[in-house]
Structure 1
Amino acid sequence: MKSSLDPSIKYIKTDILVIGAGGAGLRAAIEAKKSGLEVFLLGKEVLGCAHTGMAMGGLNASMVKPATPEFHSQITIEGGYFINNYKMVKVFGKEMPARIHDLESYGVIFDRLDSGQFYTWAGPKQKYPLNVCVGDYTGREMMQGLVDEARKLEIKYTDEFFVSKLLTVKSQVVGAIGINIRNAQSVVFQTKSVILATGGAGRMYKVTTNAMSNTGDGYAMALEAGAELIDMEMVQFHPTGMANTPSVLGVLVTEKVRAHGGILRNKLGERFMSKYFPKEMELAKRDEVSRSIYTEVAEGRGTDKHAVYLHVDHWTKEQILELIPDVYEQYKNTGVDISKEPMEIYPSMHHMMGGINVDEWCRSSIPGLFAAGEVTRTVHGANRLGGNSIAECQVFGRRAGIAASKFAKKIKNSQLPKEQIKKEQTRIFSFINRKAGVTPHVVEDKLKQVMWDKVGIFRDEKRLLQAKKAIAELKIEAKKMKTRTNLKERNRDLQDCLEIENMLATAESVVEAAILRKESRGAHSRIDYPEMKKEWEKNISVKKINGKLVTEVINVIKG
């Protein structure tokens, strides 16, 4: 594309730009490609290596009776403590079975019984089994199928690319700017529709199940473009992250373990869930199990590694290798044979239930901007059920692709905003050009500790206000970040600087929403407001107005 803009920048024109190449981004690109429009897919990672591939347990879908779409929707709303978007939940439950068949057509081979029926297992809240899986490595197999389909469709793709800003003209998204991570080449995309599918923000916590690439990029870019975020205070901690050695701290241990009879015990040998949730036991909701484990350790009944035990040593080794082969290998690699001794586990930051406010067709409040996956607020409410994450990516990834295509067919490309591009170029390379300053890992380490200590499983006004103050100070410090080298080839520090600013913006929105919600609901548990209140059956909105975050309590969408 010829342009009178900066000749050092590469310009690419396309109809639909998909930012993020995990489960939601790939599914969106696949669907958009069917429209006949030109689609360009961008990923920070090598194609196929997005965070979706780390998902273990499976996808919820009503594939085997007596489970029904209505039952799936019902338990999702109950599990989300009634602040879900009801309209989107109904769409999700209804359309999910068809998305399983889509994945099969892409080559994903789900586990089946000898009869040919899908093998399904029941997670928390599931009276009827919904979880369809491929061993305990479902995400990896799903990603392979999606990548294969994207390649068959010859979707244009660039990996190791960092998008730093959405470009807007008259409050409409018209493109994006970023850099090739390999060589820091600046690239501007001129497009009619943008689909954000950038995932979550786990890296802003000290202990997380998330991939390194989950740095809140989409939340930060959407806020800056004028979009609204919803439910940002709802941060899920998975109850079972590895804790037996620092090298694997926080690595996910699938819920499939507890769903198939795994037993939690403290260092005294007590099956402690009987004290907290005697009916549900290990299959209480994720937030409930996480709080129970936290309490056991805090009160001195944890192991010397600040953990509790998860037992499957009452299973046969054959059962272990059939049901959870990846978990077995994870522990074996650290010198633990889980067929003979228990796992040590502790909660790990896992999922952002909140995100960009979109409707059932993944349209944000900003024309031209669509979003899908963990970067959005869709079906989860105050607590995500296991199996609903990589599932909703398929339902709403497809819908985002359809809606973005329809929008793109109605409009022409807008002129690019030269001043925005110039300003963003200056910001990006200021981290390399700066003569003196702080290295990015210093700021990142401080942020991780603040979020873990002050905005964790249990919260209160004092710690949240301390977090707010600390984040404000870190935002100032981040303006002085510099890379340790001025080389542009593979400058990891440059990417870190950009990601840290995104994490700070995301963290700030989490804290502001958490301060406002003066009750305990799902993943948001406040020791100073321990009760769940009917009057707080509301959502919290976060917007950026005149450079400052503004929060507002809004009604839940139940139509």
Structure 2
Amino acid sequence: MSATYQTDVLVIGSGGAGCRAALEAFRAGADVIIVAKGAFGKSGTTAFRVADTAGYNFADGIVDPNDSPEIHYQDIIKAGLGMTYEELAKILSEEAMETGPYLEGLGVEFQKDPSTGRYIEVRGCFSTKPRMHVLKDHGEPIIKALEKEINGHPIKIHEHTMITKLLVSNGTCFGAVGLDKEGEPVVFQAKTVIIAAGGAGQLFKYTLTPPDITGDGYALGLSAGADLVNMEYMQVVVGTVNPTKNQLNAFLWCARPKLLNGSEEEFLGNYLPEGMTEDMVMEAKSTHFPFSTRDNSRFIEIAIQKEILEGRGTAQSGVYVDLTGINDEVVNTLPDDSPLPKVWPIVKEFMAQRGFKIETEPIQVGCFAHAINGGLKIDEWGRTTISGLYAAGEVAGGPHGADRLGGNMLLTCQVYGARAGKDAALKADRSSYNQIPEEQVKIEIARLLKMSGGEGMQKTDELKARLQDAMWKGVLVVRSEESLNKTLDELKSLREEINNSSIASKDAVKATLELENLIDIGEVITRVALFRRETRGSHYREDYPEIDPKWETKLLVRKNSETGLVIIKENQS
């Protein structure tokens, strides 16, 4: 018989959102279990030190006294291009003000100017004011502080445990089934469940997410009947290919580096329309990290991706950014309002630690998947469209739109992690334990046991590489009806290969489950990108290259047991 655990609130995921949700639920009086797919405090995106710095927004008005939560809200709405839920953005901008002092109280240090003692605040991606506070070592300081706080409370943690199915009956979630660290089935009975399992960056050949970010939360919610929203929008950034994969600081474009292909020929100009200069493109690019079609910066990612796909990249599927000749003296001559001088020492240190000699050698870069802007549709308390099921962090959809402000993702984890935790605890306090749907448990455990009892060998790594290559080529930056349909054909082929093979060991079961989740969510993203016949924000359709007012509506995705995926324009749902 499988082990069964009972709790008021079950939190799936142990990153910034999951940890904050667990803490708030515990403080509200709930019994809490955290399920971490990897090692607690070390797995997930928040703990993944992918860049030299991270941004964290709260409009304290210290650098610009004219900034305010209201202007922060307006920036979110403007960036979203009609795809953001206004009430969620309003809450985010207002409650951001509480989260900075809260994190500092836990020991998180936002960078300060040594000469003034004031916060270093820069204008983040798509923002109009300098409110983005700088965190050294990306999100790592946040997760370390939350981990320490959780370890000081009787919050139970199940590490190396993967949730494979949510238990839902009559539209209400009662718990989950999964595999524990020994590969054995385990059942969690809960009054409420919070999904905080991160995004799906591992869908792509180049990604700035750790290996465990495989779309599990999206897939769990989708299979349970929850709605997804805004899944066609995701952040794509320029990152380093070799010797390590890291985000390239966008402020470096202020220094006007050269872009060179595999033959060390400049190529950006070949992709620019008449009258547009490389200087104009790089100036726009220096204001935001992610790819967006909203301004001239779009041509950098389009040029990089097309140059590589057309066979003119390096052997490692990259191109070169040449920063040679850019040194302290050059950086210090940049205009006073340039953000690069403020972070240049941190950038140099970070790149040197990873083996890059940016002042003397060109570096290889490519287009990388970063964060998905959409997810499980939530309301103002993180409730999904299934009673008793919540979502927070990257897995949740609604606080962001077609583009997302730089510095808002870590913030969203704190604001909506806290809200989901509080409300889940309140609902649990008003509820009693419902009978576990035994038939669902029986079927899921039988499925998991059958997977682990195979005689063949699933070539999971090879299939995953094929999936990542197809998604990177056909979906990441440049999308068209042809590329998207070609990708769907490959996803179908991969799914058939998995269904027609078996697994030889328990160790391979989790990898196969992750691959199945990735294929499911890859299909969601590809189909909704095919459905939206326009270009908007981070969604670029080469065959529909302009924004179209007729498409200013959010797209919902849900799973129908008979017809499969269903895509609905929200105002027609």
Q: TM-score normalized by structure 1?
A: 0.90
Aligned match of 1:82: 82
Instruction: Give the 3-state SS of the residue equivalent to 1:191 in structure 2.
Output: strand
Distance 2:123 2:461 in 1: 41
Decide whether the 8 Å contact of 1:196 with 1:218 is kept in 2: yes
Match 1:292 to one of 281, 300, 312: 300
In structure 2, do the counterparts of structure 1 residues 127 and 310 end up closer, same or farther at CA, with 3 Å as the change threshold?
farther
Structure 1 residue 337: deviation in Å?
Answer: 1.7
Q: How far off its partner does 1:303 sit?
A: 6.2
C-alpha displacement of 1:277: 3.5
- Does the 8 A contact of 2:301 with 2:477 survive in 1? no
Residue of structure 2 equivalent to 1:455: 475
For residues 448-470 of structure 1, the C-alpha deviation after alignment (integer angstroms, 9 at most, x for no partner) is 11111211201111121122222
Q: Does 1:521 align with 2:536?
A: yes
Q: Structure 1 residues 131, 411: closer, same or farther in 2, change over 3 A?
A: same
Could you tell me which residue of structure 2 aligns to residue 252 of structure 1? 247
In structure 2, the CA distance between the partners of 1:399 and 1:324, relative to structure 1 (3 Å rule), is farther
1:360-403 deviations in Å (ceiling 9; x for gaps): 11011100100001001122211222211111111111111111
| C-alpha distance 310-401 of structure 1, shift in aligned 2 (>3 A) | farther
Contact in 1 for aligned 2:249/2:289 (Cα 8 Å):
no
1:311 aligns with 2:323: yes
SS in 1 for 2:545: coil
Aligned position for 1:53: 47
Equivalent of 2:545, from 512, 522, 530? 530
Distance 1:208 1:381, change over 3 A: same
Contact 1:230 1:542 in 2 (8 A): yes
Please say if 1:232 is aligned against 2:237: no
Change (3 A) 1:69 1:190: same
Alignment of 1:255-274 (within 5 A): 255=250, 257-258=252-253, 261-267=254-260, 274=278
Q: In the alignment, what sits opposite 2:239?
A: 241
> Could you say what secondary structure the match of 2:194 adopts?
strand
Q: Which residue of 2 aligns with 1:10?
A: 3
> In the aligned structure 2, how far is the partner of 1:375 from the partner of 1:481?
30
CA distances 1:96-150 after superposition (whole Å, capped 9, x unpaired): 1211111011111111234443221122333321111223x13011111111111
How many angstroms apart in 1 are the aligned matches of 2:206 and 2:307?
A: 20
Question: Which residue in 1 is equivalent to 2:24?
Answer: 31
CA shift, 1:67, in A, is: 2.0
Residue of structure 2 in register with 1:184 after alignment: 183
Amino acid at match of 2:439: E
Partner of 1:280: 284
Match of 2:566 among 550, 556, 559: 550
State the SS of the aligned residue for 1:12: strand
Is the CA contact (8 Å cut-off) linking 1:228 and 1:357 kept in structure 2?
yes
- Change in 2 beyond 3 A, CA 1:322/1:312: farther
Query: Quick one: which amino acid aligns to residue 205 of structure 2?
Result: K
In structure 2, how many angstroms separate the alpha carbons of the residues matched to 1:409 and 1:219? 27
Counterpart of 1:266 in 2: which secondary structure? strand
In structure 2, the residue matched to 1:131 is 132
Confirm or deny: 8 A CA contact 2:268 2:300 kept in the other structure.
no
Following superposition, the deviation at residue 343 of structure 1 comes to: 3.3
Aligned residue pairs total 537
Q: Distance in 1 between matches of 2:266 and 2:489?
A: 41
Looking at structure 1, the residues matched to 289 and 246 of structure 2 have their Cα atoms a distance apart, in angstroms, of 19
* Separation in structure 2 between the aligned mates of residue 550 and residue 433 of structure 1, nearest angstrom: 34
Q: Give the superposition deviation at 1:521.
A: 0.6
Contact persistence 1:192–1:412 (CA under 8 A): yes
What corresponds to 2:454 in structure 1?
Answer: 434
Contact in 1 for aligned 2:228/2:377 (Cα 8 Å): yes
- Please list every run of 5 or more consecutive structure 1 residues that lacks an aligned counterpart in the other structure: 1-6
1:3 maps to none
- 1:297 and 1:177, CA in 2 relative to 1: closer, same or farther beyond 3 A? closer
SS in 1 for 2:54: coil
Once residues 194 and 173 of structure 1 are traced to their aligned partners in structure 2, the CA distance between those partners, rounded to angstroms, is 7
Please report how far the alpha carbon of residue 353 of structure 1 lies from its aligned counterpart in structure 2 after TM superposition.
0.8
Q: Distance in 1 between matches of 2:341 and 2:281?
A: 29
Amino acid paired to 2:539? H
Contact kept in structure 1, 2:291 and 2:301, CA below 8 Å: no
Aligned counterparts, 1:74-473, within 5 A: 74-113=74-113, 114-135=115-136, 137-181=137-181, 183-238=182-237, 240-245=238-243, 248=244, 250-255=245-250, 257-258=252-253, 261-267=254-260, 274=278, 277=281, 280-283=284-287, 286-288=290-292, 289=297, 291-296=299-304, 298-299=306-307, 304=314, 306-309=318-321, 311=323, 314-316=326-328, 323=343, 328=348, 331-332=351-352, 335-436=355-456, 438-473=458-493
Q: What code does the residue aligned with 1:393 have?
A: C
- Using a 3 Å threshold, how does the CA distance of structure 1 residues 334 and 290 change in structure 2: closer, same or farther? farther
CA 1:515 to 1:149, structure 2 compared with 1: closer, same or farther past 3 Å?
Answer: same
The 2-side partners of 1:556 and 1:269 are apart by 48
* Counterpart-to-counterpart distance in 2, 1:108 and 1:330: 19
Shift of 1:284: 5.0
**Native 8 Å contact 1:297 1:307 kept in 2:** no
Match of 2:337 in 1: none
- Measured at CA, do residues 417 and 352 of structure 1 come closer, stay the same or move farther in structure 2, by a change above 3 Å? same
The whole-number CA distance in structure 2 between the counterparts of 1:159 and 1:310 is: 43
Distance 1:263 1:343 in 2: 14
Instruction: Summarize the Cα distance change of 1:151–1:265 in structure 2 as closer, same or farther, 3 Å threshold.
Output: same
User: Do the aligned residues in 2 keep the contact of 1:263 with 1:282 (CA within 8 Å)?
Assistant: no
> Percent of aligned pairs with the same residue?
30
Q: Deviations over 1:250-270 (max 9, x none)?
A: 432344545xx4434222568
| Offset at residue 58 of structure 1 (A) | 1.8
